[in-house]
Each structure stands twice: as C-alpha cells, then as structure tokens.
Amino acid sequence: MQATVSWREIPQGSAEDERLLFEKLAQDMMHVQLKTKQRAKAAGIQRAFHAKPIFASIDATLRFNEDLPADFRAGFAQPGKAY
C-alpha cells in the first residue's frame, strides 16, 4: 500500500520571494484574527487561532508531586501540596 501525499513543495525562487510570501501569509493570518475578534465582540485577541480552554469539575484535586523540580515551584505550586 502506497501512502498518498497531501502536500506539495512550492518553489520560492529567491530569499526575497520567500520573505514576501511569508509577509503575505502573516497579513492574512492577522486579518482572520481581527475578523474573529470583531465577530466575537472581544476586547482583544487572546490566542492566535483558538480560544483558551476552560476546565470545570465538581470533584477534582490538583496535587503536586513530592519531587517537583525547583524550576516548577512558584507560589501555590509547591511539592506535596494539594488543592
């Protein structure tokens, strides 16, 4: 069974051609973001292309491991703590 390819390479020609293409892509993405912001009547663009996920639970516990590395300790995030 042979895999099908769903992508293709687009020859860019030169570094300048590639720069112009990426500039246009960035402009297109910003346009989509602004349209989405306006449609949602949002104050700002929170995330590029998707809403921030929200987690809700009636019965959940957030527990930090006893061996939580020092780099991950801050504020309430302390080894062995549970909330």
Whether the predicted model's global pTM rises above the 0.85 cut: no
Q: Compute the radius of gyration of the chain from its Cα atoms.
A: 22
63 part of a folded domain: no
44 part of a folded domain: no
22 part of a folded domain: yes
26 part of a folded domain: yes
8 part of a folded domain: no
49 part of a folded domain: no
What's the whole-number average pLDDT of the chain?
84
3 part of a folded domain: no
* Residue pLDDT, tens place only, 19-30: 888 899 999 988
In DSSP notation, 4-69 reads: PP--------SHHHHHHHHHHHHHHHHHHHHHHHHHHT-SS--SSSSPPP----SS---B--TT--
Task: Tell me the CA end-to-end span of the chain in Å, nearest whole number.
Answer: 52
Expressed as residue numbers, the domain containing 19 is: 15-39
How many separate domains does the chain show? 1
24 part of a folded domain: yes
